Amino acid sequence: MELSLNVWQRIILARIIGAVHGDAQTVHKAVHLLDVLELSSQEKEEIGYQELPDGSARWEKVDARFDLEIDGNLGAFLVQKAKEFQGWTVNKDVVELFGQLGITEE
């Protein structure tokens, strides 16, 4: 699965996967996905990323995008967890992300 994510999309997916709990196989999948989804120190520096005291974040390069490739099994796991997530807000970034993940109206 190839994704082109903006910063917010990448952060929300990392938070969703970071909150996963379950059996050993589930945890291993989540950890492998986090290796791809979490921003590296270099990427944070490049976009001017800052974590704020209240737990939120901001970044200077608002148009930044990241091309990520996710293994098929991990991609299916990511889609499953994104579908199960109950905290989605209504905005264009979510709709675009759903399109990339193949999540449609059911």
- pLDDT tens for the 106 residues of the chain, in order: 999 999 999 999 999 999 999 999 999 999 999 999 999 999 999 999 999 999 899 999 999 999 999 998 999 999 999 999 999 999 999 999 999 999 997 6
Euclidean distance between CA atoms 35 and 57, whole angstroms? 19
Which pLDDT score, from 0 to 100, does residue 88 have? Answer: 96
Give this prediction's pTM. 0.92
Q: 67, 40 in Cβ contact below 8 A?
A: no
Which pLDDT score, from 0 to 100, does residue 86 have? Answer: 95
For the chain, first and last CA: distance in Å?
Answer: 21
